[in-house]
Amino acid sequence: MRFLVTNDDGIFAPGLAAAVEVLQHFGKVAVVAPDGERSATSHSITLRKPLKAERMTIFGGNVPAYAIVGGTPADCVKLALGVLFEEKPDCVVSGINAGANIGRDIHYSGTIGGAREGTLSGIPGVAVSLDRTDAAEPDFGAAKGLFYAALSSLRKEEALEGLMNINLPAIPESSCPGIAEAVPDFSLDRYRHMTADQPEGGVLYWLRDRQAWLEPSRPDSDFHLLREGYITVSKIGLAAGHEEEQITPIGGKQR
């Protein structure tokens, strides 16, 4: 297989290196990633300024790699598929992200935006993220084994298609109970604004991650199953959104 790899943590992120190492067991790998962190850029692309592709000599020099200066993950994939490489990949992989992408995160995540850009071009897209249980640095050594197991299972079941969101638990592979298909838990509002008064007047606002204090709303959700130690796999449609019954119709009346 041929894999195109991107991320939203930047081309020098350890999670990207971990993904490349795993994917090399399955086929050929090429990398096109942002030159720096582009977290929470969703599926945004750059319209009003030029992008620069810098050829990189990393990953032992045997993996074609470009850093896209100022680009988002979606920019990277779009540029790779349309300009940088003549040969199309069989799969676009985005990650491994430092931090889970669960529930509503699928709308905010640059990691998922990169994978989705591949799917829009008719190529299976896989977003991969590693949960973070505390302030410690994520253990991508353990994540490699978990990602290898997940990808092996998907290939064996011939389920590598469409847009998929994989979350890896922050535990050793030996402690993982298995792989579970999960429903994104859209009911959870993970990020809330905090405020602080400025001495000179005015108020500052910033988002705080409340994942550690939230409770899952359903047992088959990505949040619940990831907390239980499972590798979660969610199949996401290109028009992914809240389930119909969760949305109030216009006028407030059910049809």
CATH number of the domain where residue 123 is located: 3.40.1210.10
Phi, psi values for residue 232, rounded to 5°: -100, 140
Q: Indicate whether 252 belongs to any domain.
A: no
Confidence of residue 250 (pLDDT cuts 50, 70, 90): low
Share of the chain above pLDDT 90, in %: 77
222 known member of a binding site: no
- 3-state SS, residue 232: strand
Confidence of residue 33 (pLDDT cuts 50, 70, 90): very high
Q: Indicate whether 74 belongs to any domain.
A: yes
- How many structural domains comprise the chain? 1
Q: Indicate whether 32 belongs to any domain.
A: yes
Q: H-helix or E-strand containing 29? A: strand 28-34
**Residue 67 and residue 76: Cα distance in Å, rounded?**
8
Q: Which two tokens stand for residue 35?
A: 């030159």
150-160: average pLDDT: 92
Q: Indicate whether 102 belongs to any domain.
A: yes
Q: Which of 4, 42, 1 is nearest to 126 (CA)?
A: 4
Q: Indicate whether 242 belongs to any domain.
A: yes
What pLDDT was estimated at residue 252? 52
**Residue 5 and residue 16: Cα distance in Å, rounded?**
8
**Residue 206 and residue 99: Cα distance in Å, rounded?**
18
101 known member of a binding site: no
What pLDDT was estimated at residue 188? 82
Whether residue 240 is predicted with pLDDT greater than 70 in this model: the reply is no
Q: Which of 238, 220, 230, 248 is nearest to 103 (CA)?
A: 220
90 known member of a binding site: no
Confidence of residue 248 (pLDDT cuts 50, 70, 90): low
Kindly report, residue by residue over 51-64, the tens digit of the pLDDT.
Answer: 999 999 999 889 99
Are 169 and 198 spatial neighbours (Cβ–Cβ below 8 Å)? no
Domain that holds residue 26: 2-189+218-246
39 known member of a binding site: yes
Q: Indicate whether 251 belongs to any domain.
A: no
Q: Which segment of 30-34, 115-119, 127-131, 196-200 scores lowest on mean pLDDT?
A: 196-200
Q: Which segment of 35-39, 114-118, 125-129, 193-197 scores lowest on mean pLDDT?
A: 193-197
Identity of the highest mean pLDDT range in 11-25, 128-142, 215-229 = 11-25
Kindly report, residue by residue over 68-111, the tens digit of the pLDDT.
Answer: 999 999 999 999 999 999 999 999 999 999 999 999 999 999 99
Q: pTM here?
A: 0.90
**Residue 168 and residue 30: Cα distance in Å, rounded?**
23
Q: Indicate whether 27 belongs to any domain.
A: yes
**Residue 77 and residue 113: Cα distance in Å, rounded?**
9
What pLDDT was estimated at residue 255? 45
Q: Indicate whether 171 belongs to any domain.
A: yes
* Residue 120 DSSP code: H
**Residue 165 and residue 126: Cα distance in Å, rounded?**
6
